[in-house]
Amino acid sequence: MSEFSLELNEDQLQVIKWVHDFAENVVRPAGHEWDEREETPWPIIKEAAEIGLYSFDFIANCFGDTTGQLLPAVNEELSWGDAGIALSIFGSTLGLAGIVANGTPEQVSEWAPQCFGTPDDVKLAAFCVSEPDAGSDVSQLKTHAVYDEATDTWTLNGTKTWITNGGIADLHVVVASVEPELGSRGQASFVVPSGTPGISQGQKFKKMGIRASHTAEVVLQDVKVPGACLLGGKERLDQRIARAREGKSAKGQAAMATFEASRPTVAAQAVGIARAAYEYSLEYAKERKTFGKAIIEHQSIAFKLADMKTRIDAARLLYQRAAWMGMSGKPFVAGEGSMSKLFAGETAVWVTEQAIQILGGYGYVREYPVERWHRDSKIYTIFEGTSEIQRLIISRAISGVHIR
Ligand SMILES: Cc1cc2nc3c(=O)[nH]c(=O)nc-3n(C[C@H](O)[C@H](O)[C@H](O)COP(=O)(O)OP(=O)(O)OC[C@H]3O[C@@H](n4cnc5c(N)ncnc54)[C@H](O)[C@@H]3O)c2cc1C
């Protein structure tokens, strides 16, 4: 028998089924309501916490899966239910990823559980990188952190924008510039714990899609945190900055390390939306009749569905490969993490648009979910690195040329 296998094991399938049941019975039926309300679906996050789905233990269990497949697979399932609600549930994982990617083991064990809290006291986390003048170009961050050695205190000032859970989170992981002239190599990540004076929510954004997920500005005004809140610690930061000054390669730029690890998971969320739209329009095409036959009997509709399914499966294979490479320490020599996110995001936009077309007028109105899925899908070509930035990463990786 061949040793190569794409089959998931029994344990993985069991967890995926458990998440699927929650997505089907709780998340999907609530999708329309929370999209209209444009608010964080607290009751659903709480319900997820009560069954253990919204918890540090669950995410740690997924991270602990040595094949790397579980975390993206459960993200696909929950986004299949509803992407906005799924992002409200998994949004804290971005803050967590910032801590895991940059923190010391002691910092991870202290802060990671606080990203989720407990079922009786649910907490949220946020990861704050983007700024009004620094989205794709994170080397331009203006938020800065200044160290006072006498009191072992960092003072943060600046404005972050587009932050998922921004301002409503209990714990914000903030990427700030320590040595501005070194660009992204002079940046560091800080934990700003709940109740720290000086951090506040700015404007809350009204969005096109994923409207159940809260997105807002985060304003930092003389925010003081102790030295222990610098992820990775001062010694490691000083060494990294010294290496950058000498022009040596700097391992681990704060924001990039987090994004690299999370791309296959974000890709999986996009695949979940695409799959929802594909399944819905396949069923619809079998029911809806025109000119005396089901519309699926028209080859143009059937071929559309064949292409939708093919692209969805290709997108899933790309995220599975990237997740496996990430977990087994294989270097992304051709930007494979970016490939997965690029292809899944564009597939989700394309598939959901085809789904609207298959439903005709019914696809265009809010009584049916496909227009929402199309609105939700579009963010996947924008956040966590736009499609253009993914192409930049891939083209640089395959060519060795510093394409800008
Ligand atoms: C709903 C939502 C949630 C978000 N959540 C978070 C979050 O939790 N934390 C966080 O830090 N950020 C978050 N973001 C921010 C998101 O990551 C940025 O919006 C994204 O990185 C793009 O940055 P920008 O909006 O400044 O666009 P810009 O960087 O201004 O880009 C504008 C356009 O120019 C293109 N472009 C830019 N540079 C190049 C280039 N070199 N070559 C070719 N094309 C280029 C881009 O691809 C894009 O099409 C979120 C955004 C949204 C909308």
Q: Quick one: pLDDT at residue 261? A: 64
In ligand 1, the atom with minimum distance to the C-alpha of 160 is: 11
Q: Quick one: pLDDT at residue 230? A: 98
The alpha carbon torsion through 85, 87, 92, 98 (nearest 10 deg) reads: 180
Alpha-carbon 59 to chain mean position? 14
In this prediction the pTM is 0.96
Nearest CA to ligand 1 atom 12: 130
> In 3D, which of 83, 66, 67 has the Cα closest to residue 23?
83
Helices 28-37 and 70-81 meet at what angle, rounded to 10? 70
Please list every protein residue whose CB sits less than 6 Å from any atom of ligand 1. 94, 127-130, 135-136, 162-164, 207, 210, 215, 379, 382-384, 386, 388-389, 392, 404
Domains of the chain: 10-121 (1.10.540.10), 125-245 (2.40.110.10), 254-399 (1.20.140.10)
Helices 254-287 and 70-81 meet at what angle, rounded to 10? 50
Q: Are 200 and 167 in contact (CB under 8 A)?
A: yes
Q: Tell me how far the alpha carbon of residue 272 lies from the centroid of ligand 1, in angstroms.
A: 22
Please indicate whether residue 179 is annotated as part of the active site: no
Q: Quick one: pLDDT at residue 213? A: 98
Q: Are 264 and 319 in contact (CB under 8 A)?
A: yes
Q: Quick one: pLDDT at residue 87? A: 98
Q: Quick one: pLDDT at residue 321? A: 96
Below-50 pLDDT ranges, the chain: 252
Characterize 72-84 residue by residue with b for buried, 16 or more Cβ atoms within 10 angstroms of its Cβ, and e for exposed: bbbbbbbbbbbbb
Which H or E run includes 117? strand 117-118
Cα(213)–Cα(34) distance, rounded to whole angstroms?
A: 9
Q: Tell me how far the alpha carbon of residue 96 lies from the centroid of ligand 1, in angstroms.
A: 21
- The 10s digit of each residue's pLDDT in 3-18 is 899 999 999 999 999 9
Q: Which of 38, 88, 133, 136 maximizes ligand 1 atoms within 8 Å of its Cβ, making it the mutation to test the pocket?
A: 136
User: Angle at Cα 257 formed by Cα 251 and Cα 337, nearest 5°?
Assistant: 115
Alpha-carbon 175 to chain mean position? 17
Q: Which of 253, 382, 401 maximizes ligand 1 atoms within 8 Å of its Cβ, making it the mutation to test the pocket?
A: 382
Q: Quick one: pLDDT at residue 127? A: 97
Q: Quick one: pLDDT at residue 255? A: 58
Nearest CA to ligand 1 atom 35: 388
Q: Tell me how far the alpha carbon of residue 335 lies from the centroid of ligand 1, in angstroms.
A: 18
Q: Quick one: pLDDT at residue 268? A: 98
Q: Are 103 and 232 in contact (CB under 8 A)?
A: yes
User: Angle at Cα 275 formed by Cα 269 and Cα 280, nearest 5°?
Assistant: 135
Q: Tell me how far the alpha carbon of residue 386 lies from the centroid of ligand 1, in angstroms.
A: 6
Q: Quick one: pLDDT at residue 248? A: 73
